[in-house]
Amino acid sequence: MLGRLLMFRISYPNGTKFKKIMQASIKLIEEIPLNVTTEGLTLRALSPDKNALVNLFIPSTSFEEFNVEEETNIVVIKDEFNKAVRRAQRKDSVILIYERGARELKVILFNAKTGVEREFSVSISEAGMEPVGEIKVEPVVKFQIDGDDLKKIITDAKIVADEIEFIYENERILVRAASEDRSYRTTLELDRPLLNLESAAEGRVSGKYSLDLLKGITTALGSAETLILGFGQNQPLRIYMELEGGGILTVWIAPRV
C-alpha cells in the first residue's frame, strides 16, 4: 500500500443497522455505485429494468469516523459487497477504506469489545463515473403507514395479481389488484391503518405499480419501520423512509398504464 493515497476511510458504528440499510438499498439493483463526499455517503442507482430508482443518503454525522480526502465515485460488485456486509454483527463497526487507484474496497468488521477484526476485500468494477440523476417530483397524494401493514397489503394483493392500484378519493385510499378471474380490494383511511393521509388534489387520483418491485423493497425493510408512500396520476410511486441512526432511503417505482 506504499505510496497509495487514502481516498476515504469511514466507520459506521452499528453492524446490524448498516447491514439492514444496505440490504434494503441494494435489493432492487444489480451494481452498487458509492459516492462519498464530506457530506456523507450516497448510493443512487436504477434497477436493471430501469423501473426503480434507489436513493440512499447517510450523512457523515451518522458515522463515528468520516475521513474523506476528496469526492470519490466507485462501483462495487454487489454479490461480494453484500456477502461481506452480511457478516456484520451488532457490536461490529463497519469500516470502509478506499485508496486511490485500488481495485478493491476494504470492508473491515471490527468488534471493539473483543478486539477481533475481520477484513474482506471487495472488487470494484468502475471508478470515477458520475452518479445517475435524482427524480424531482412532488407526489400529489401521500400516506404514512407501518411497514408491516404495507407488507400485509402487498402479500394479499400478490395472491391475485402482479400490479397494484392505489386510488385516492374522499379521504380514503382504495387498494385494488385484479387478474383475469380473481380480485382483491381493501380500503385505507386515517387510523385504519394509516398514520397520516394528505392530497394536494381535490378529486380522484390513481396510480398503478409493479407488485414485484414493491414486494422486493418492502420485504428487505425491517418490520418496525414507518414509511411514507406518495403517488399521483401517471406519476412514479415514492417510498420514503427515515433511517434510524440518521439518513434517508427513497425508492421510486415507475407508473404502469
Choice between 50 and 113, CB closer to its own copies? 113
The answer to whether 157 and 175 have CB atoms below 8 angstroms apart is yes
- Could you tell me the smallest distance in angstroms from the CB atom of residue 104 to its own copies? 7
| Cα–Cα distance measured from residue 200 to residue 203, given in angstroms and rounded to the nearest whole number | 9
* Segment 18 to 47, residues that bind its own copies, using CB under 8 A: none
Told to check if 202 binds its own copies by CB under 8 A, we report no
* Segment 146 to 165, residues that bind its own copies, using CB under 8 A: 152, 155-156, 159-160
* Segment 163 to 182, residues that bind its own copies, using CB under 8 A: 181-182
Interface pick for its own copies out of 84, 167, 205, 237 (rule CB under 8 A)? 84
The answer to whether 251 and 52 have CB atoms below 8 angstroms apart is yes
* Segment 212 to 241, residues that bind its own copies, using CB under 8 A: none
The answer to whether 104 and 120 have CB atoms below 8 angstroms apart is no
Q: Which range touches its own copies (CB under 8 A), out of 79-87, 139-147, 201-209, 215-223? A: 79-87
Told to check if 87 binds its own copies by CB under 8 A, we report yes
How many residues bind its own copies (CB under 8 A)? The answer is: 31
- Could you tell me the smallest distance in angstroms from the CB atom of residue 175 to its own copies? 9
Told to check if 80 binds its own copies by CB under 8 A, we report yes
> What is the distance, to the nearest Å, from the Cα of residue 139 to the centroid of all Cα atoms in its chain?
18
In this structure, the number of other CB atoms found within 10 A of the CB of residue 10 comes to: 21
| Cα–Cα distance measured from residue 51 to residue 65, given in angstroms and rounded to the nearest whole number | 35
Residues 6+ away with beta carbon under 8 Å from 229 = 142, 143, 144, 145, 150, 166, 237, 238, 239, 240
The answer to whether 55 and 131 have CB atoms below 8 angstroms apart is no
Interface pick for its own copies out of 54, 95, 122, 227 (rule CB under 8 A)? 122
Choice between 15 and 139, CB closer to its own copies? 15
Q: Which range touches its own copies (CB under 8 A), out of 39-47, 81-89, 219-227, 246-254? A: 81-89
The answer to whether 178 and 222 have CB atoms below 8 angstroms apart is no
**Closest CA relative to residue 47, chosen from 252, 208, 207:** 252
* Segment 101 to 120, residues that bind its own copies, using CB under 8 A: 103-104, 114-120
Which residues bind to its own copies, rule: CB under 8 A? 80, 83-84, 87, 103-104, 114-123, 152, 155-156, 159-160, 181-187, 189, 192-193
